[in-house]
Structure 1
């Protein structure tokens, strides 16, 4: 394809229309974390910071495990949208909301066990653990709103309205920051104020999301059909897809947790350096997620419409821009990496150790981009078994690499193993990519 023809493809504009709200939405998350830290950082006792950090970590892992509620919903909504089946778009959203409510009920019923296990795995001082328990006992009541919001975010991305997702995210984080200041600085509620601010903002964000979803459904049309919503076959299909994605996500969570645990064996300085550099990984995800999410909605629509030509165009265009942005990340890390490290820590030993590992972070965007994009493609195509199987293979390769390279090169070997993990995730999906095109031709 000639270069001029490639850049004339309509998917370029659509890709950026969908990607920029996600990138901006993601970028608001670290601001919220900074405010949480700042408000408790001005309290008289240091254990408040640790309590909020541990409490937030528990919920990050807990909710990340239920990310399938967003991913599965996106794929099914996009497929139904491509087929122009408005009734099924509504039914997919309803099934996802029902599933999110059922899971939330179980989370609330098992909250005592979840907290006990979390504090058992994450050791802290008595004061820190007590504060984390206070934080958990309040924020957990936001679980129904959080999980329902996942389903709504999947719906918005599936209908290719990422601006709606941005609106909800910005509203939630902005309100959270405001309530942080009121509850902690104004009312003196310390850790419990931070937790209450988060739970309230999550719940009100759900109300806004439901309002926007209602407006979008009026545009889409269709009807709520109880028989279709409660269809055993379709509910079973939803559960099967979500279970595949759940397995994939749990392995992903464990892989990063294991990386940090192994790095901790190198001592406090090495662990601190790794913690600093993991911020680089999170920053990278803000940009790459935008194009992966854009691919999800567009791919599903193209498959639903039986347009293999459009599918190929979307793969090329979203992949091109994701590669461009990953190159920019690598360049920024190359030029400004040491300065970013200096901003994140003032400890000379940690700075020096982090700079030792920095070359891995410069390389990472160019390696990780392919796993991000292929995840987006397969989520949009609702081909979860391939994602599950690919992750299992990649995880086995990663664990072997952690052992082999770790023994050879220490912590540098762990970074090398992480690169193997990214590569294998991409390779295992690239091998079965032709199945996605066959879906569009069927």
Structure 2
């Protein structure tokens, strides 16, 4: 759980510090709202890139956990280094491509303009420099997960998150006369240096602390093609997933600056809770692969039941805490009365969505561990085409506003949760 929330914590910390910068002119110019909206959409694009390209983490976790469960770890010796090299190449290509097209993406795809466009581009172009490091870090996390070790990822993430928070205050607000306040760009630099720290620690645990045997060879591992097929299907799935989330930002920007800033805060909170609940998907993923490799049907069912129960309990707790302490949380994240008056419109929908997320994410983890990437890809396509888009587009015509965006997200998650649940019940009977 602690290891999984690092990426949204980085974006939330950046957003919170930027949202609480005190400039006298903000009240008249709405500059803080623009900065918050900019960090929100840029942070979401960074998260989208991580989700899309870090699917190798789930793929390698599935392959390694199944090999671990069937006691065939020797076949992983050459696969793991090749996976790292592959992610390094993909990370650099993705970084270069998005660095030079970020302004176009924000302006033409996300309807950003003016100060929002300027700040979003500046923030993104700094944070994306660390994307190759993040990609390699997360893929190695998948290796650790495959051998049932989530402790190292937790330690690395806590250290990285702590570095990010400390540097946020220093770079964004300034530190005595030694560091000048850098605003939005300072938040991005803080996240970038945190990514470097996490990368170095990850290599240390893999090469020094782990007992995983690695062989560096030019001969392609026989498992590599299967790994790419799993990752490829998950990438296609995640591209559609993130296009849907980017579409919510686009519609929020259309509704106005206050709505865009409010949605940026709420969606970043949603992403934080999503990664929080993803802890149980991670657990379900690792154990599903292990038990599938061992051909243990009863353990597969217990794995789902226990992780789902825990995830639902945590989701209801998160919903309750958010409803009880909503004003304190929002005041911590942003200092703007317009946003404070806007967010209650979508808060009940947000809280309702979390238990639904718990079901969907846990089932995602189980099927990823089983290597059922094609099934998960198809479910995401179906949920987006027949759930999310109809509600969003029809609702936009009938009752435009932030509420319809969150109604579309709820319908999306309902289909993503219940279809896999009933399919698993069918599959386990035939296992």
Instruction: Provide the TM-score with structure 2 as the length reference.
Output: 0.83
User: Considering only aligned residues, what root-mean-square deviation do their CA atoms show, in Å?
Assistant: 3.4
Separation in 2 of the partners of 1:43 and 1:131?
19
Provide Cα deviations, 1:107-161, integer angstroms capped at 9, x if missing partner: 35535533343354353437x7666655555544423211111211111222222
Separation in 2 of the partners of 1:117 and 1:93?
36
Aligned to 2:414: 423
Using the TM superposition, name which of 21-30 and 88-97 deviates more. 21-30
| SS of alignment partner, residue 433 of structure 1 | helix
Corresponding position: 1:187 with 2:175:
no
Corresponding position: 1:148 with 2:139:
no
Question: Is the 2:356–2:414 Cα contact (8 Å) retained in structure 1?
Answer: yes
Q: How does 1:257-296 map to 2 (within 5 A)?
A: 257-296=246-285
Aligned to 2:300: 311
Question: Is the 1:241–1:385 Cα contact (8 Å) retained in structure 2?
Answer: yes
Separation in 2 of the partners of 1:276 and 1:181?
19
Unaligned runs of 5+ in 2: none
The structural deviation recorded for 1:245 is 0.8
Question: Is the 2:81–2:214 Cα contact (8 Å) retained in structure 1?
Answer: no
CA 1:57 to 1:307, structure 2 compared with 1: closer, same or farther past 3 Å? closer
Separation in 1 of the partners of 2:187 and 2:307?
38
Aligned to 2:14: 33
Corresponding position: 1:322 with 2:311:
yes
Q: How does 1:27-426 map to 2 (within 5 A)?
A: 28-29=9-10, 32-33=13-14, 37=18, 49=35, 56-110=43-97, 113-121=100-108, 123-125=112-114, 138-180=126-168, 185=175, 186-188=178-180, 190=182, 194-218=187-211, 220=212, 222=213, 224=215, 226=217, 230-231=220-221, 233-341=222-330, 343-345=332-334, 347-397=336-386, 398-411=388-401, 412-426=403-417
Separation in 2 of the partners of 1:256 and 1:202?
24
Question: Is the 2:18–2:35 Cα contact (8 Å) retained in structure 1?
Answer: yes
Using the TM superposition, name which of 117-126 and 321-330 deviates more. 117-126
Separation in 2 of the partners of 1:43 and 1:362?
34
| SS of alignment partner, residue 226 of structure 1 | coil
Separation in 2 of the partners of 1:133 and 1:270?
20
| SS of alignment partner, residue 65 of structure 1 | helix
Question: Is the 2:20–2:335 Cα contact (8 Å) retained in structure 1?
Answer: no
Question: Is the 2:16–2:332 Cα contact (8 Å) retained in structure 1?
Answer: no
The structural deviation recorded for 1:426 is 1.5
Provide Cα deviations, 1:63-119, integer angstroms capped at 9, x if missing partner: 332131222222122111112222233334223212201202323553553334335
Separation in 2 of the partners of 1:42 and 1:89?
55
The structural deviation recorded for 1:350 is 3.7
CA 1:203 to 1:43, structure 2 compared with 1: closer, same or farther past 3 Å? farther
Question: Is the 1:32–1:173 Cα contact (8 Å) retained in structure 2?
Answer: no
Separation in 2 of the partners of 1:43 and 1:148?
42
Separation in 2 of the partners of 1:400 and 1:425?
15
Using the TM superposition, name which of 243-252 and 109-118 deviates more. 109-118
Provide Cα deviations, 1:327-376, integer angstroms capped at 9, x if missing partner: 21232234333554455455555434322322212211222211111111
Instruction: Provide the TM-score with structure 1 as the length reference.
Output: 0.81
Aligned to 1:3: none
